[in-house]
């Protein structure tokens, strides 16, 4: 006799669970494998420089002296600047599309923003070289002398440099942040907005309520954009000037971790040099993991905060609609 | 029924014929990897050689000199190619002795963008080195104006543009500057990527050319071929004999002439700052790399035959693609050296 339907179903379930579990495990193994391989192949450089690799400012392939600080700095500085520029714009787009836009405009506008994400980064890079960089140079030439004394705006007007890199990254990140944020806002239950309107909220206040409701998701959208900015290589290397230095100046040419790997890997013939480049990859990996962990923590603490803060006012709220009714 | 039978028979015949056809052709694939600089001439050569010998297919991946050396050392490719000769250290790591064979010549030229200057500027090695080091940082510096009387050089800042990616072009350029300037040698040194004291980096020849074109007051360096194909003006450089020489295919070949008289047995020679009245000083060979005692005798035989063809018949393709052909003396020396490959 065949098995009873219920036992067959549970066998199917187990098989399904094992199958999907295996795929999930695959990701873990892959990440672990990447980490171990990066660690293994960079041991020459780790053994020679130790922690000095993280703080060293000199990158001299001829002398065999390698320090990653300028690249770490360049990656973090450019990504954070890009987030500062792109987040308000991306959220603005998301709010307009989900809350305010006339219905016929909604789909084409959303399509156009998402189209930005489909442009290859080399095209962004070329656009950067031929359009953005000359514009930035003009801006830098026009910078008044008193402003040039501020470290943020010091240096000759080259056009290529941190500002161009941050701007191009911002443009590249916007579609990611805005489309996820738009999905988050769309997922906010209509009852939230209706409740706000019922309380006599203005449109802006109702949107604020929706934003507050979806803030974990929106934070996630911003973090997704940050991840994209940190890893971007081609477009950045084409406009950042590729000069490894630690500088606050927006006008100074700088360098990033991803860019130095892409630039120098093919010609790195001696072992220590290659190992140092792979260690840059390891540093990038570690920093990405730390940033991801931090963003998880941030999202977790924000979502906990929502529960704590929202619960107490729940009690007096029902009283008001009754008055209104 | 009948048509089906015919079809079946035809199918069988086709299947039976397939293996026979492949055995007859005896295709040989040979893989190589390395320098990007000679890629246009190499791919031309491999295509032309394939026309003469349809059974031989040579694949070349232009992954960079460093990558070529590494893959040859790991024996994942049959031959390598490089713009800078292998160091003794690198040769020591390889499982067997490696033969360097110069194939064509290339050169690097200084390009600049100075508002109001349309004439060809003259540089000496020392001045060029000081500009790249950042010690000369204005275009009207007395050191530059002394070399260029009558040219109205403005008081603008100098912006140095260099390659951000590791490159044989950089190797040739810094090799020359290190020979003519002790300060450059001690502060920067020679490699495919170096620690530049000042300036901005562009990716590839096109990146550097783009930076120079767009930045008033800038100076950079690109391959002669690239400058020629894109009609970019470049400066002339004073050679060892004190002559100002503009890079042309003839002046690059002239630089190799001098070297051919004192060619070391392993061909690992730098011809930057070469002697000779007409020699352009920032010139270099580019090399193919082979194991002297390869395991695969069949492929070796083919490659030896290919190199013989490339050094003789093949040289005529060089100038069209912007490479300077080898002087006949060097070709003769290489023909002798090819006997060292044990086939």
Q: How far is B222 from chain A (nearest CA, A)?
A: 17
* pLDDT at residue A305 in the model: 64
Q: Cβ separation of B165 and A267 shorter than 8 Å?
A: yes
- Ordered by start, the domain boundaries in chain A are 20-302
Please report the pLDDT score of residue A3 as a whole number: 53
Instruction: In whole angstroms, give the CA distance from residue A108 to residue A122.
Output: 25
Distance CA B340, CA B343 (A): 9
Chain A nearest CA to B210, separation (Å): 8
> Is B123 buried (19+), middle (13-18) or exposed (0-12) by CB count in 10 A?
buried
H/E segment holding residue B160: strand B159-163
Predicted confidence at residue A242, as pLDDT, reads: 93
How do residues B280-291 score in pLDDT, each as one tens digit? 999 999 999 999
Whole-angstrom distance, CA of residue B192 vs CA of residue B166: 5
Tell me what pLDDT residue A5 has: 61
Q: Mutating which of A269, A271, A273, A280 best tests the B interface, going by the most B Cβ atoms within 10 A?
A: A269
CA distance, residue A264 to nearest chain B CA (Å): 5
Interface of A with B in 45-64 (CB under 8 A): 58-63
Select from B90, B196, B200 the Cβ nearest to the Cβ of A158. Answer: B200
Q: What is the pTM of this model?
A: 0.82
Mutate to test the interface with A, among B87, B184, B191 (most CBs of A within 10 A): B191
* Chain B: closest CA distance from residue A21 (Å): 37
Tell me: the pLDDT tens digits for A214-247?
988 999 899 989 999 999 999 999 999 999 999 9
Residues of A in contact with B200 (CB under 8 A): 158, 160-161, 241-243, 253
Question: Parallel, antiparallel, or unpaired: how do β-strands B56-61 and B28-34 relate?
Answer: parallel
Chain A: closest CA distance from residue B94 (Å): 12
Token pair recorded at residue A88: 């308000």
Dump pLDDT digits (tens) for B239-259.
Answer: 999 999 999 999 999 999 888
Q: What is the mean pLDDT of residues B182-197?
A: 92
The ipTM of this complex is 0.78
| A267 closest CB neighbour out of B66, B188, B200 | B66
Check B214 against A129: CB less than 8 A apart.
yes
| Chain B residues touching residue A255 (CB < 8 angstroms) | 201
Render A112-180 in DSSP notation, one character per residue.
HHHHHHHS-HHHHHHHIIIIIHHHHHHHHHHS-HHHHTSGGG-S---S-SHHHHHHHHHHHHHHHHHHH
Q: What's the whole-number average pLDDT of chain B?
A: 88
Pairing of strands B28-34, B79-82: parallel
Instruction: List residues of chain B with CB under 8 Å from any CB of chain A.
Output: 63-67, 69-70, 87, 89-90, 157, 159, 164-168, 188-196, 199-203, 207, 210-211, 214-215
Contacts of B199 in chain A (CB under 8 A): 243, 253
A198: contact with B, CB 8 A cutoff:
no
A44 touches chain B (CB under 8 A): no
Is the pLDDT reported for residue A4 higher than 70?
no
pLDDT at A99: 87
Residue A135, chain B, CB below 8 Å: the answer is no
Q: Domain A20-302: give its CATH code.
A: 1.10.3720.10
Least confident of A213-227, A297-311, B104-118, B280-294: A297-311
Q: Compare A58 and B228 and report the one with higher pLDDT.
A: A58
Q: Residues A139-196: pLDDT tens digits?
A: 998 988 888 888 889 888 888 999 999 999 999 999 999 999 999 999 999 888 889 9
Give the integer Cα–Cα distance in Å for B111 and B105: 20
Residue A254 DSSP code: B
Asked whether the beta carbons of residue A266 and residue B215 sit closer than 8 angstroms, the reply is: no
Q: Which of A104-108, B6-10, B122-126, B143-147 has the lowest mean pLDDT?
A: B6-10
* Cβ contact, residue pair A243, B202, below 8 Å: no
Strands B218-223 and B98-113: antiparallel
First to last CA, chain B: 58
Residue tagged 């959303």 (tokens)? A110
Please report, for residues B84, B179, B286, B295, the alpha-carbon distance to residue B292 in angstroms, rounded to integers and kept in the order given. 19, 31, 18, 10
pLDDT at B219 exceeding the cut of 80: yes
Query: CA–CA separation, A90 vs B119, rounded Å?
Result: 50
């Amino acid at each position: 006799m065949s098995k009873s339907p219920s036992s067959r179903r549970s066998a199917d379930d187990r098989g399904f669970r094992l199958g999907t579990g295996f795929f999930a495990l695959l990701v873990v193994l892959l990440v672990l494998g990447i980490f171990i391989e990066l660690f293994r192949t960079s041991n020459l450089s780790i053994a020679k420089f130790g922690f000095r690799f993280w703080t060293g400012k000199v990158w001299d392939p001829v002398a065999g002296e390698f320090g990653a600080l300028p690249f770490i700095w360049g990656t973090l500085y450019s990504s954070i600047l890009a987030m500062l520029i792109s987040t308000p714009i991306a959220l603005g787009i998301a709010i307009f599309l989900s809350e305010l836009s006339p219905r016929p405009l909604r789909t084409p506008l959303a399509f156009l923003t998402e189209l930005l994400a489909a442009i290859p980064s080399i095209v962004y890079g070329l656009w950067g070289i031929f359009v953005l960089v000359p514009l930035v140079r003009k801006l830098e030439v026009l910078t008044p002398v008193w402003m040039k004394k501020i470290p943020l705006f010091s240096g000759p007007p080259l056009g290529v440099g941190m500002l161009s890199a941050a701007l191009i990254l911002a443009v590249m990140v916007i579609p990611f942040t805005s489309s996820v944020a738009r999905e988050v806002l769309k997922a906010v239950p209509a009852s939230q907005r209706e409740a706000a309107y019922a309380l006599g909220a203005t449109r802006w206040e109702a949107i604020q309520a929706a934003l507050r409701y979806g803030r974990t998701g929106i934070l996630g959208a911003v973090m997704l954009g940050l991840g994209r900015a940190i890893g971007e290589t081609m477009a950045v290397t084409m406009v950042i000037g590729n000069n490894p230095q630690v500088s606050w100046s927006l006008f100074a040419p700088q360098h990033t971790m991803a860019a130095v790997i892409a630039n120098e890997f093919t010609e790195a013939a001696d072992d220590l040099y290659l190992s140092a480049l792979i260690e840059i990859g390891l540093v990038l990996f570690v920093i990405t993991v730390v940033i991801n962990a931090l963003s998880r923590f941030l999202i977790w603490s924000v979502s906990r905060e929502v529960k704590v803060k929202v619960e107490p006012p729940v009690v007096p709220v029902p009283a008001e609609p009754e008055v209104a009714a | 029924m009948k048509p089906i039978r015919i079809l079946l028979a035809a199918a069988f015949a086709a299947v039976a014929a397939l293996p026979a056809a492949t055995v007859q052709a005896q295709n040989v694939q040979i893989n190589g990897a390395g320098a990007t600089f000679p890629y246009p001439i190499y791919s031309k050569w491999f295509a032309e050689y394939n026309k003469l010998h349809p059974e031989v297919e040579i694949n070349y991946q232009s992954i960079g000199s460093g990558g070529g050396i590494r893959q040859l050392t790991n024996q994942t490719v049959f031959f390598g190619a490089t713009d800078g000769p292998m160091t003794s250290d690198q040769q020591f790591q390889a499982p067997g002795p490696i033969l360097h064979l110069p194939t064509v010549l290339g050169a690097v030229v200084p390009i600049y963008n100075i508002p109001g200057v349309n004439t060809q500027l003259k540089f000496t090695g020392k001045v060029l080195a000081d500009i790249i080091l950042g010690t000369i940082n204005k275009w009207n510096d007395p050191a530059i104006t002394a070399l260029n009387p009558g040219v109205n050089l403005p008081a603008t800042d100098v912006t140095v543009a260099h390659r951000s990616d590791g490159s044989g072009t950089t190797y040739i350029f810094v090799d020359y500057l290190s020979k003519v300037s002790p300060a450059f040698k001690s502060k920067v040194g020679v490699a495919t990527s170096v620690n530049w004291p000042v300036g901005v980096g562009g990716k590839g020849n096109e990146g550097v050319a783009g930076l120079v074109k767009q930045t008033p007051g800038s100076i950079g360096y690109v391959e002669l071929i690239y400058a020629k194909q894109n009609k970019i003006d470049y400066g002339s450089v004073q050679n060892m004999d004190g002559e100002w020489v503009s890079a042309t295919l003839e002046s690059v070949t002239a630089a190799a002439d001098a070297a051919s008289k004192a060619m070391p047995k392993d061909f690992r020679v730098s011809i930057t700052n070469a002697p000779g009245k007409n020699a352009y000083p920032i010139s270099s060979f580019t090399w193919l790399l082979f194991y002297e005692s390869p395991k695969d005798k069949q492929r070796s035989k083919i490659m030896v035959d290919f190199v013989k063809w490339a050094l003789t018949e093949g040289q005529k393709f060089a100038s069209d693609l912007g490479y300077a052909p080898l002087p006949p003396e060097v070709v003769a020396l290489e023909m002798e050296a090819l006997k060292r490959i044990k086939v």
